[in-house]
Protein backbone atom coordinates (compact mmCIF):
# COMPACT_ATOMS: atom_id res chain seq x y z
CA UNK A 1 0.00 0.00 0.00
CA UNK A 2 1.38 3.43 -0.91
CA UNK A 3 1.07 6.24 1.66
CA UNK A 4 -1.34 7.91 -0.73
CA UNK A 5 -3.65 4.87 -0.82
CA UNK A 6 -3.45 4.70 2.97
CA UNK A 7 -4.49 8.35 3.27
CA UNK A 8 -7.30 7.98 0.75
CA UNK A 9 -8.61 4.79 2.39
CA UNK A 10 -8.62 6.35 5.86
CA UNK A 11 -10.44 9.39 4.48
CA UNK A 12 -13.07 7.23 2.79
CA UNK A 13 -13.70 5.01 5.79
CA UNK A 14 -13.92 8.00 8.13
CA UNK A 15 -16.42 9.55 5.74
CA UNK A 16 -18.73 6.61 6.39
CA UNK A 17 -18.06 6.63 10.15
CA UNK A 18 -18.82 10.37 10.28
CA UNK A 19 -22.09 10.00 8.38
CA UNK A 20 -23.26 7.11 10.57
CA UNK A 21 -22.16 8.97 13.70
CA UNK A 22 -24.06 12.10 12.66
CA UNK A 23 -27.30 10.16 12.18
CA UNK A 24 -27.00 8.08 15.37
CA UNK A 25 -25.40 10.60 17.73
CA UNK A 26 -22.37 8.43 18.49
CA UNK A 27 -18.73 9.23 17.90
CA UNK A 28 -17.88 6.10 16.01
CA UNK A 29 -14.73 5.43 18.03
CA UNK A 30 -15.94 1.90 18.62
CA UNK A 31 -15.96 1.34 14.87
CA UNK A 32 -12.76 3.23 14.03
CA UNK A 33 -10.38 1.86 16.67
CA UNK A 34 -10.64 -1.82 15.66
CA UNK A 35 -10.61 -0.81 11.99
CA UNK A 36 -7.34 1.11 12.40
CA UNK A 37 -5.59 -1.44 14.62
CA UNK A 38 -6.72 -4.66 12.96
CA UNK A 39 -7.21 -3.42 9.41
CA UNK A 40 -4.19 -1.13 9.03
CA UNK A 41 -1.83 -2.24 11.80
CA UNK A 42 -1.92 1.15 13.48
CA UNK A 43 -0.60 1.25 17.05
CA UNK A 44 -3.50 1.30 19.57
CA UNK A 45 -2.28 4.65 21.00
CA UNK A 46 -2.57 6.41 17.65
CA UNK A 47 -5.83 4.63 16.86
CA UNK A 48 -7.40 5.96 20.05
CA UNK A 49 -5.86 9.41 19.44
CA UNK A 50 -7.28 9.53 15.91
CA UNK A 51 -10.68 8.27 17.05
CA UNK A 52 -10.94 10.94 19.76
CA UNK A 53 -10.32 13.59 17.06
CA UNK A 54 -12.92 11.92 14.85
CA UNK A 55 -15.48 12.13 17.67
CA UNK A 56 -14.91 15.90 17.88
CA UNK A 57 -15.03 16.22 14.09
CA UNK A 58 -18.30 14.26 13.88
CA UNK A 59 -19.78 16.26 16.74
CA UNK A 60 -18.86 19.71 15.42
CA UNK A 61 -19.49 18.90 11.76
CA UNK A 62 -22.98 17.56 12.52
CA UNK A 63 -23.92 20.01 15.27
CA UNK A 64 -23.39 23.06 13.05
CA UNK A 65 -26.45 21.97 11.06
CA UNK A 66 -28.42 20.47 13.97
CA UNK A 67 -28.18 23.60 16.10
CA UNK A 68 -29.29 25.81 13.20
CA UNK A 69 -32.24 23.51 12.40
CA UNK A 70 -33.20 23.30 16.12
CA UNK A 71 -32.86 19.53 15.92
CA UNK A 72 -30.30 19.64 18.74
CA UNK A 73 -31.75 21.07 21.94
CA UNK A 74 -29.07 23.51 23.04
CA UNK A 75 -30.46 24.14 26.51
CA UNK A 76 -30.88 20.45 27.30
CA UNK A 77 -27.31 19.86 26.07
CA UNK A 78 -25.81 22.69 28.14
CA UNK A 79 -27.70 21.49 31.22
CA UNK A 80 -26.53 17.89 30.81
CA UNK A 81 -22.94 18.82 30.03
CA UNK A 82 -22.55 19.64 33.73
CA UNK A 83 -23.12 15.92 34.35
CA UNK A 84 -20.88 14.62 31.55
CA UNK A 85 -18.01 16.98 32.39
CA UNK A 86 -18.16 16.04 36.09
CA UNK A 87 -18.31 12.39 35.08
CA UNK A 88 -15.33 12.72 32.73
CA UNK A 89 -13.27 14.17 35.56
CA UNK A 90 -14.34 11.35 37.90
CA UNK A 91 -13.52 8.82 35.22
CA UNK A 92 -10.04 10.25 34.76
CA UNK A 93 -9.47 10.04 38.53
CA UNK A 94 -10.77 6.47 38.76
CA UNK A 95 -9.15 5.18 35.59
CA UNK A 96 -6.08 3.77 37.29
CA UNK A 97 -7.82 2.21 40.28
CA UNK A 98 -10.44 0.03 38.61
CA UNK A 99 -9.97 -2.98 36.39
CA UNK A 100 -11.00 -2.37 32.79
CA UNK A 101 -12.43 -5.85 32.37
CA UNK A 102 -15.31 -5.39 34.82
CA UNK A 103 -16.04 -2.03 33.25
CA UNK A 104 -16.39 -3.55 29.81
CA UNK A 105 -18.72 -6.21 31.17
CA UNK A 106 -20.83 -3.70 33.07
CA UNK A 107 -20.89 -1.25 30.18
CA UNK A 108 -21.80 -4.00 27.72
CA UNK A 109 -24.67 -5.18 29.93
CA UNK A 110 -26.00 -1.63 30.33
CA UNK A 111 -25.87 -1.04 26.58
CA UNK A 112 -27.61 -4.33 25.83
CA UNK A 113 -30.36 -3.44 28.32
CA UNK A 114 -30.84 0.03 26.82
CA UNK A 115 -30.95 -1.43 23.32
CA UNK A 116 -33.77 -3.75 24.39
CA UNK A 117 -35.60 -0.93 26.18
CA UNK A 118 -35.36 1.25 23.08
CA UNK A 119 -36.53 -1.65 20.98
CA UNK A 120 -39.69 -1.86 23.10
CA UNK A 121 -40.46 1.77 22.26
CA UNK A 122 -40.06 0.84 18.60
CA UNK A 123 -43.14 -1.35 18.94
CA UNK A 124 -45.15 1.85 19.04
CA UNK A 125 -48.55 1.99 20.69
CA UNK A 126 -49.93 5.02 22.45
CA UNK A 127 -47.57 6.37 25.08
CA UNK A 128 -48.78 8.27 28.11
CA UNK A 129 -47.69 11.92 28.04
CA UNK A 130 -44.42 12.64 29.87
CA UNK A 131 -44.77 13.47 33.57
CA UNK A 132 -44.51 17.21 34.32
CA UNK A 133 -41.03 18.23 35.42
CA UNK A 134 -40.63 21.46 37.41
CA UNK A 135 -36.91 21.83 36.68
CA UNK A 136 -37.47 21.46 32.94
CA UNK A 137 -40.13 24.18 33.13
CA UNK A 138 -37.92 26.50 35.14
CA UNK A 139 -34.91 26.10 32.81
CA UNK A 140 -37.07 26.33 29.70
CA UNK A 141 -35.88 23.01 28.28
CA UNK A 142 -38.97 22.14 26.22
CA UNK A 143 -38.72 22.59 22.49
CA UNK A 144 -39.96 21.78 19.04
CA UNK A 145 -38.42 20.92 15.70
CA UNK A 146 -39.52 20.65 12.10
CA UNK A 147 -39.56 17.02 10.97
CA UNK A 148 -38.70 16.93 7.26
CA UNK A 149 -39.81 13.29 6.86
CA UNK A 150 -43.22 13.88 8.47
CA UNK A 151 -43.47 17.43 7.09
CA UNK A 152 -44.72 18.91 10.32
CA UNK A 153 -43.55 20.81 13.38
CA UNK A 154 -43.07 18.41 16.31
CA UNK A 155 -43.38 20.02 19.76
CA UNK A 156 -42.07 18.02 22.71
CA UNK A 157 -41.84 18.33 26.47
CA UNK A 158 -38.80 17.28 28.45
CA UNK A 159 -39.11 15.18 31.59
CA UNK A 160 -36.83 13.24 33.94
CA UNK A 161 -34.21 16.01 34.15
CA UNK A 162 -32.66 14.72 37.37
CA UNK A 163 -32.49 11.13 36.16
CA UNK A 164 -31.03 12.39 32.87
CA UNK A 165 -28.36 14.41 34.67
CA UNK A 166 -27.44 11.39 36.81
CA UNK A 167 -27.22 9.13 33.75
CA UNK A 168 -25.02 11.71 31.99
CA UNK A 169 -22.70 11.65 34.98
CA UNK A 170 -22.44 7.88 34.61
CA UNK A 171 -21.94 8.18 30.84
CA UNK A 172 -19.20 10.76 31.40
CA UNK A 173 -17.47 8.56 33.98
CA UNK A 174 -17.52 5.51 31.70
CA UNK A 175 -16.19 7.42 28.72
CA UNK A 176 -13.57 9.09 30.92
CA UNK A 177 -12.35 5.67 32.01
CA UNK A 178 -12.61 3.76 28.75
CA UNK A 179 -12.10 6.65 26.36
CA UNK A 180 -15.04 5.41 24.28
CA UNK A 181 -18.76 4.93 24.17
CA UNK A 182 -19.93 8.36 25.25
CA UNK A 183 -22.70 8.68 22.67
CA UNK A 184 -23.89 5.09 22.96
CA UNK A 185 -24.97 5.84 26.56
CA UNK A 186 -26.15 9.40 25.99
CA UNK A 187 -28.78 8.64 23.36
CA UNK A 188 -30.60 6.00 25.48
CA UNK A 189 -30.55 8.39 28.47
CA UNK A 190 -32.10 11.18 26.39
CA UNK A 191 -34.57 8.78 24.85
CA UNK A 192 -35.62 6.62 27.79
CA UNK A 193 -35.27 8.93 30.79
CA UNK A 194 -35.95 12.35 29.29
CA UNK A 195 -38.36 11.19 26.59
CA UNK A 196 -36.97 13.37 23.79
CA UNK A 197 -37.98 12.49 20.22
CA UNK A 198 -35.37 10.09 18.83
CA UNK A 199 -34.05 12.56 16.25
CA UNK A 200 -33.64 15.23 18.93
CA UNK A 201 -31.87 12.64 21.10
CA UNK A 202 -29.27 11.71 18.47
CA UNK A 203 -28.76 15.35 17.39
CA UNK A 204 -28.38 16.56 20.99
CA UNK A 205 -26.03 13.69 21.84
CA UNK A 206 -23.98 14.64 18.78
CA UNK A 207 -23.70 18.17 20.06
CA UNK A 208 -22.56 17.02 23.50
CA UNK A 209 -19.96 14.35 22.69
CA UNK A 210 -17.51 16.93 21.31
CA UNK A 211 -16.99 18.62 24.67
CA UNK A 212 -16.23 15.40 26.55
CA UNK A 213 -13.85 14.31 23.80
CA UNK A 214 -12.11 17.70 23.68
CA UNK A 215 -11.19 17.36 27.36
CA UNK A 216 -9.33 14.11 26.63
CA UNK A 217 -7.94 15.24 23.28
CA UNK A 218 -5.68 17.86 24.89
CA UNK A 219 -4.15 15.14 27.03
CA UNK A 220 -3.64 12.79 24.08
CA UNK A 221 -1.96 15.60 22.13
CA UNK A 222 0.43 16.41 25.00
CA UNK A 223 1.29 12.72 25.25
CA UNK A 224 2.15 12.66 21.53
CA UNK A 225 -0.68 10.24 20.68
CA UNK A 226 -2.08 12.41 17.88
CA UNK A 227 -0.23 11.37 14.73
CA UNK A 228 -1.06 13.77 11.87
CA UNK A 229 -0.47 11.11 9.20
CA UNK A 230 -3.30 9.02 10.72
CA UNK A 231 -5.49 11.57 12.49
CA UNK A 232 -5.44 14.09 9.61
CA UNK A 233 -7.36 12.08 7.00
CA UNK A 234 -9.59 10.60 9.73
CA UNK A 235 -10.51 14.08 10.99
CA UNK A 236 -11.21 15.50 7.52
CA UNK A 237 -13.19 12.41 6.46
CA UNK A 238 -15.32 12.35 9.62
CA UNK A 239 -16.13 16.06 9.27
CA UNK A 240 -17.25 15.83 5.65
CA UNK A 241 -19.14 12.60 6.39
CA UNK A 242 -20.91 14.15 9.38
CA UNK A 243 -21.92 17.23 7.39
CA UNK A 244 -23.42 14.97 4.73
CA UNK A 245 -25.03 12.74 7.37
CA UNK A 246 -27.02 15.64 8.82
CA UNK A 247 -29.00 15.89 5.58
CA UNK A 248 -29.94 12.26 6.03
CA UNK A 249 -31.26 12.46 9.61
CA UNK A 250 -34.00 14.97 8.77
CA UNK A 251 -35.31 12.83 5.94
CA UNK A 252 -35.26 9.49 7.73
CA UNK A 253 -38.37 8.42 9.62
CA UNK A 254 -38.02 8.27 13.39
CA UNK A 255 -38.70 4.54 13.37
CA UNK A 256 -35.81 3.95 10.95
CA UNK A 257 -33.43 6.02 13.10
CA UNK A 258 -34.48 4.11 16.20
CA UNK A 259 -34.12 0.71 14.51
CA UNK A 260 -30.69 1.65 13.13
CA UNK A 261 -29.56 2.87 16.53
CA UNK A 262 -30.76 -0.28 18.31
CA UNK A 263 -28.87 -2.41 15.78
CA UNK A 264 -25.59 -0.53 16.24
CA UNK A 265 -26.08 -0.44 20.01
CA UNK A 266 -26.50 -4.21 20.18
CA UNK A 267 -23.37 -4.67 18.07
CA UNK A 268 -21.40 -2.36 20.36
CA UNK A 269 -22.75 -4.15 23.45
CA UNK A 270 -21.59 -7.51 22.08
CA UNK A 271 -18.13 -6.06 21.33
CA UNK A 272 -17.89 -4.73 24.88
CA UNK A 273 -19.00 -8.01 26.47
CA UNK A 274 -16.49 -9.92 24.35
CA UNK A 275 -13.70 -7.58 25.43
CA UNK A 276 -14.52 -8.10 29.08
CA UNK A 277 -15.00 -11.84 28.85
Partner 1 sequence: MSVERSEEAAQARDTSGPLAPGGVELLISTLLRSGVVLSVALIGVGVTLSFFHNPERLTSRVDLTPLLSPEHGPSSLEAVLVLAREVRGQAFVMMGLLVMMAVPVLRVLIAFFSFRQQRDRAFVRMTSVVLTLLALSILLGRATD
Which residues lie near partner 1 (CB under 8 A)? 1-4, 6-7, 41-43, 45-46, 53, 56-57, 59-61, 63-65, 67-68, 70, 74-75, 78-79, 81-82, 85-86, 88-89, 92-93, 96, 138-139, 176, 210-211, 213-219, 221-224, 226-233, 235-236, 239-240, 243
**Closest CB to partner 1 among 114 and 206?**
206
- Shortest Cβ distance from residue 150 to partner 1 (Å)? 22
- Shortest Cβ distance from residue 232 to partner 1 (Å)? 4
**Closest CB to partner 1 among 84 and 201?**
84
**Closest CB to partner 1 among 35 and 272?**
35
> 3-state SS string over the chain?
CCHHHHHHHHHHHHHHHHHHHHHHCCCCHHHHHHHHHHHHCCCHHHHHHHHHHHHHHHHHHHHHHHHHCCCCCHHHHHHHHHHHHHHHHHHHHHCCCCCHHHHHHHHHHHHHHHHHHHHHHHCCCCCCCCCCCHHHHHHCCCEEEEECCCCEEEEECCCCHHHHHHHHHHHHHHHHHHCCCHHHHHHHHHHHHCCCCHHHHHHHHHHHHHHHHHHHHHHHHHHCCCCHHHHHHHHHHHHHHHHHHHHHHHHCCHHHHHHHHHHHHHHHHHHHHHHHC
- Shortest Cβ distance from residue 118 to partner 1 (Å)? 26
- Shortest Cβ distance from residue 40 to partner 1 (Å)? 8
Amino acid sequence: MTPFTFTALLFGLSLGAGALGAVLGIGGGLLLVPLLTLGFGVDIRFAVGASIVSVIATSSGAAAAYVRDRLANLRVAMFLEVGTAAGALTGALLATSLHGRWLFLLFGAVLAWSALAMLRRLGGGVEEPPAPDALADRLGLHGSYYDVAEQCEVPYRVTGTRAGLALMYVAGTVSGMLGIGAGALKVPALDLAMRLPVKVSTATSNFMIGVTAAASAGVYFARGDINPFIAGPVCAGATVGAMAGTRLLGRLHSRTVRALFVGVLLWVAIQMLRKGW
